[in-house]
Amino acid sequence: MYVDACHTPSSSHILRVSFTNRFVVVAHFAPNQTRRKMRKTTFLTRKLREVSFLSRGLLSTRHVVLAHLIPMRRCNLACGYCNEYDHSSSPVPVEVIKRRVDKLAELGTSIITISGGEPMMHPELDEIVHHIRLRGMIAGLISNGYYFTPERIRRLNKAGLEYLQISIDNVDPDEVSRKSLRVLDKKLGYLSEYADFHVNINSVIGGGIKNPEDALTVARRAVELGFSSTVGVIHDNDGTLKPLSPKEKDIFQQVKKVGNKDHARLNWFQDSIAEGKPYNWRCRAGARYLYICEEGLVHWCSQQRGYPGIPLEEYTMVDFDREYNTEKWCAPTCTLQCVHQVGILDNWRDPQKTPAQIAAEQEKKETVGEMIRVE
Ligand code: SF4
Ligand code: SF4
């Protein structure tokens, strides 16, 4: 009798037990089955961590929920609508990024999403991901998808990446965007086969995207490959809030049905944006959500760089409280999904004040303080 493992033409692993030269199949371990089991365990662990971070976010307002961290401004593409890339900058040294991760851990951050530019161009991306996990935070990545190979995916699995988002703008590349299904489909196939992390494919409607029906094709392909799918409604090219056309609205509703139901539930604001109407909410950027640029400065978000513009290493809970309580003038027309989602945790509590009201209150306090000191 002997026992061995072999590959069938379909690459299945079959454990063979032989008695007098007759093979009896006693167990059948397809790699896909093993991978599915492993993915299920990873999925459950990830969900438990999410629930625990969510409860913590609801119970306490005194920590950062989500930070976007930029280790690399450089990008291999040049999308027509994008103001977040260059073609010449160097990667931020990994030790500097690790210190920023440590500081974010001190601020109680639950999730760090690495973004760019194109973060896959950073030579030590795996080390950054690993460091985020070492510090007990959820590690996510936003990428244009161009650099995924089986080997790179395995390395990211090993580093502990938990979430990946790829935005796909169209089916065929054009002068505005090369983040196209036709170009990326092979990479999506690799991800479907090898990634242990969750993959979300985001498609886009509005903003002058030529063929709105492409969003539906992208969403269907994403679901077919076992990914989740979300859709973003964006402003027109001039930044104004215009309603989607009837055709775009129809496709938007169809894409929402194909995609992630939780996401659709969390993005009521998109229905207002689709109708061209402002949305009333409390943006907690600078507090519950932070955007850390390649220079290590804290900004409200990618679209409001410069406010407050304080170095992360000097950021304190005084800054956090000020920004938490500051009403953002850009909130009614904001389309940044992740900041909206973080905002849901606190929309029902702690009304905000305008910067002018906060400054007036501060001045009043200082005047009273001076009077007391004089007396
Ligand atoms: S891939 Fe992303 S970062 Fe690069 S140009 Fe396009 S939108 Fe900007
Ligand atoms: S409302 Fe939107 S654009 Fe304005 S700071 Fe918040 S996230 Fe940024």
Q: Is 223 part of any domain?
A: yes
Q: Is 331 part of any domain?
A: yes
Ligand nearest to the CA of 334: 2
Q: Is 168 part of any domain?
A: yes
Q: Is 88 part of any domain?
A: yes
Q: Could you tell me which residues are beta bridge partners of residue 344?
A: none
Q: Shortest CA distance to 68 belongs to which of 285, 326, 234?
A: 285
Distance of alpha carbon 5 from its chain centroid, rounded? 41
Round the average pLDDT of the chain to a whole number and report it: 86
> Closest ligand 2 atom, CA of 300?
5
Q: Shortest CA distance to 296 belongs to which of 103, 100, 161?
A: 100
Q: Is 47 part of any domain?
A: no
Report the distance separating Cα 132 and Cα 221, nearest Å: 31
328 C-beta closer than 6 A to ligand 2: yes
**Lowest pLDDT segment from 244-253, 275-284, 341-350, 352-361:** 352-361
* CATH code at position 166: 3.20.20.70
Q: Which long-range contacts (CB under 8 A, 24 or more apart) does 354-360 make?
A: 354/326, 354/327, 354/329, 355/326, 355/327, 358/322, 358/325, 358/326
Report the distance separating Cα 9 and Cα 301, nearest Å: 51
* 3 Cα–ligand 1 center, Å: 52
Ligand 1-lining residues (CB < 6 angstroms) = 75, 77-79, 82, 84-85, 116-118, 144, 179
CB 13 within 8 A of CB 30: yes
The pLDDT, as a whole number, for residue 126 is 98
Before 278, cis peptide (omega within 30)?
no
Task: Outline where 160-282 has alpha helix (H).
Answer: 181-194, 213-224, 246-258, 261-266, 269-274
User: What value does the mean pLDDT take over residues 245-258?
Assistant: 89
CB 340 within 8 A of CB 334: yes
* 263 Cα–ligand 2 center, Å: 19
Q: What is the pLDDT of residues 339-349, one digit of tens each?
A: 999 999 999 99
Residue 182: domain span? 63-343
The pLDDT, as a whole number, for residue 242 is 75
Percent of residues, the chain, with pLDDT higher than 70: 84
**Lowest pLDDT segment from 24-28, 80-84, 162-166, 295-299:** 24-28
Q: Is 300 part of any domain?
A: yes
Q: Is 359 part of any domain?
A: no
The pLDDT, as a whole number, for residue 270 is 85
Number of domains in the chain: 1
Q: Is 227 part of any domain?
A: yes
- Which amino acid is it at 178? R
Answer whether 0.75 is exceeded by the pTM. Answer: yes
Q: What is the pLDDT of residues 9-37, one digit of tens each?
A: 333 332 333 333 333 333 343 555 666 66
